[in-house]
Amino acid sequence: MRKVKTLGLLGTGVIGGGWAARALHFGIDVIAADVKPEMEEWIRGAVANAEPALARLTSAPLPPKGKLSFTTELKVMAQQADFIQENIPEQLPLKQRMLAEVSRHAAADVIIASSTSGLTPTDLQRDMAAPERFCVAHPFNPVYLLPLVELVGGQKTSQSTIDAAAKFFTYIGMHPLHVRREIPGHLTDRLQEALWREILHMVNDGIATTGELDESIIYGPGLRWAAMGTNLIYHLAGGESGMRHMLAQFGPCLKWPWTKLEAPELTEALIDRMVEGTQAQAAGRSIRELERLRDDYLVAIQQVLRQYNIGAGATLRSLEERLFKDASAGHAATIGDLGTPTRLPMRLLDAVVRPEWVDYNRHMSDFRYGQVFGDAMEPLFRQLGVDEAYRASGRMYYTVENHIRHLGEAKVGESLYVTAQLLEADNKRLHVFQRMFRGRDDQLIATADQMYLHVDTAAAKAAPADPQVRERVQQFARAQAALPRPAEAGRAVGLGKH
């Protein structure tokens, strides 16, 4: 299957807008097709609304944002897309007709996926050209923040389609879950539906309000579910004997008539109770306000889980590792051969000031300068041979002294770039001087005078770097030997004489 540079959207709406926001954020162009011209304004608004939360999800270096275009012509979208995601209403005949049509216009190696929450892929791919490249890719709202996507193949779907789709979704920061057998509702919606039916019964029977039922989740099992699913949680409930003991002790309860398999009839009275209950919970807050609240806590939860490398946090950490690796590879061409003599300091990093980087003065916060200087060292370390494998072996350069001078301001959206000059080096130490420039006028806005010490973390002490790393450090030093020493290097902080 082809490399995905442009994602085509068949239909927009809430899910389509979520796909667009996620893809654009991670550098994929998007062409959205919808029969309603007014949906162009809607999807652009949806992308803009998602951006603040996406911007806070990770501080890893991101590729340039993708470009969004819109068309009312399905054929135009199909011919430009490298991967097509369908998001039209959940009506089988409509989806079959539209998927068949788009398959006739898209190249045979373009994967076509459906966001359907319950229809089966075998039914959907029935009339398609090259149906082997079709699969269900069912996301969860908000698509731009929740990483789960269920991948389901039909009778004619090839394994290579599932593999290629999983690779693409992983690239844009998602967790692809392959559903091995197609079943209406897939996996997650069937589980959600069971809980939803019980909620409707208890509201209908006057047992609890919608707010009370939500409290029963958010203050209890909901906190556990963020990192451990029901099965692992119940395994823990069994003590040292785990699930076997848990089933032996609580299994008989499964025969008790606690739950009801069929949903109650949706009478007007039940609908009114559900509406009144959720309006009371909203407490006058608009949908947009609640969406922003939801997005804020979803970002915070994933960042916490990232520290423990579990659940959605593990997906976020994996995404960040890939982003850092890609960014370093992208800078490798700019860095060039470490042994080539140069008249200029090495350009390491290009970045844009993000909204969450600014403070009450509306320019970049002090601590963000340190972050940018630190990010700039990542591609240099990789060029020196200090990569993931090297760090995993328990060796790394650590900052032991850092002097940052603030010379100018950087505001939201402004481009920055960072250069580095190696001043001194020995077997254990690197003395690096960095300069940060504002892209629009090449103004110097900050410098960082930094000393790094090579550490053996297992021994918890300084240690010489590996010979191959030391050789590359010396190559770097020789290449920059002719550069004049910065006048600011080694300056102390203090009040001058007057």
Instruction: Tell me the pLDDT tens digit for each residue of 223-235.
Output: 889 888 888 888 8
Under the banding of pLDDT at 50, 70 and 90, the label for residue 272 is very high
Please indicate, yes or no, if residue 236 is contained in any of the structural domains.
yes
**Of 163, 186, 209, which residue sits at a domain end?**
186
pLDDT digits (tens, 9 = 90+) for 68-80: 999 999 999 999 9
Under the banding of pLDDT at 50, 70 and 90, the label for residue 261 is confident
Q: What is the CATH number of the domain that holds 43?
A: 3.40.50.720
Under the banding of pLDDT at 50, 70 and 90, the label for residue 332 is low
Residues 163 and 31 in one domain: yes
- The number of folded domains in the chain is 3
Residues 267 and 396 in one domain: no
Residues 182 and 193 in one domain: no
Please indicate, yes or no, if residue 325 is contained in any of the structural domains.
no
Q: Where are the alpha helices (DSSP H) in 91-207?
A: 92-105, 121-124, 159-171, 188-204
Question: Is the confidence at residue 334, as pLDDT, over 70?
Answer: no
| Higher per-residue confidence, 121 vs 478 | 121
**Of 153, 186, 219, which residue sits at a domain end?**
186
Q: State mean pLDDT over 86-104.
A: 97
Q: State mean pLDDT over 201-208.
A: 95
Answer whether 116's CB lies under 8 Å from 138's CB: yes
Residues 77 and 198 in one domain: no
Please indicate, yes or no, if residue 431 is contained in any of the structural domains.
yes
Residues 175 and 198 in one domain: no
Answer whether 101's CB lies under 8 Å from 74's CB: yes
Residues 230 and 341 in one domain: no
Question: Is the confidence at residue 333, as pLDDT, over 60?
Answer: no
Q: Which residues have C-beta within 8 Å of that of residue 484, sequence separation ≥ 6? A: none
**Of 284, 305, 327, which residue sits at a domain end?**
284
Under the banding of pLDDT at 50, 70 and 90, the label for residue 183 is very high
Residues 135 and 264 in one domain: no
Please indicate, yes or no, if residue 387 is contained in any of the structural domains.
yes
| Higher per-residue confidence, 326 vs 456 | 456
The span from the CA of 395 to the CA of 393, in Å, is 6
Among the residue ranges 170-184, 223-237, 425-439, the one predicted with the least confidence is: 223-237
Instruction: State the pLDDT at residue 355.
Output: 78
List Cα–Cα distances, 491 to 424, 443, 487, 488, 494, in angstroms. 16, 21, 8, 6, 9
Please indicate, yes or no, if residue 321 is contained in any of the structural domains.
no
Instruction: State the pLDDT at residue 438.
Output: 93
157-194 burial string, b = 16+ CB within 10 Å, else e?
bbeebbebbbebbbbbbbbbbebeebeebbeebeeeee
Residues 147 and 276 in one domain: no
pLDDT digits (tens, 9 = 90+) for 5-57: 999 999 999 999 999 999 999 999 999 999 999 999 999 999 999 988 898 89
Q: What is the CATH number of the domain that holds 421?
A: 3.10.129.10
| Higher per-residue confidence, 478 vs 172 | 172
Instruction: State the pLDDT at residue 339.
Output: 63
Residues 160 and 14 in one domain: yes
Residues 168 and 22 in one domain: yes
List Cα–Cα distances, 463 to 51, 126, 402, in angstroms. 44, 64, 20
Q: State mean pLDDT over 121-133.
A: 97
Residues 95 and 225 in one domain: no
Please indicate, yes or no, if residue 405 is contained in any of the structural domains.
yes
Residues 127 and 212 in one domain: no
| Higher per-residue confidence, 253 vs 143 | 143
Question: Is the confidence at residue 214, as pLDDT, over 60?
Answer: yes
Average pLDDT, the chain: 90
Instruction: State the pLDDT at residue 128.
Output: 98
The residue segments making up the domain with residue 41 are 6-186
Please indicate, yes or no, if residue 311 is contained in any of the structural domains.
no
Please indicate, yes or no, if residue 80 is contained in any of the structural domains.
yes
Instruction: State the pLDDT at residue 482.
Output: 87
Q: Check: pTM over 0.85? Answer yes or no.
A: no
Among the residue ranges 330-334, 353-357, 372-376, the one predicted with the least confidence is: 330-334
Among the residue ranges 176-190, 208-222, 263-277, 394-408, the one predicted with the least confidence is: 263-277
Question: Is the confidence at residue 330, as pLDDT, over 70?
Answer: no
Q: What is the CATH number of the domain that holds 220?
A: 1.10.1040.10
Among the residue ranges 4-18, 85-99, 342-356, the one predicted with the least confidence is: 342-356
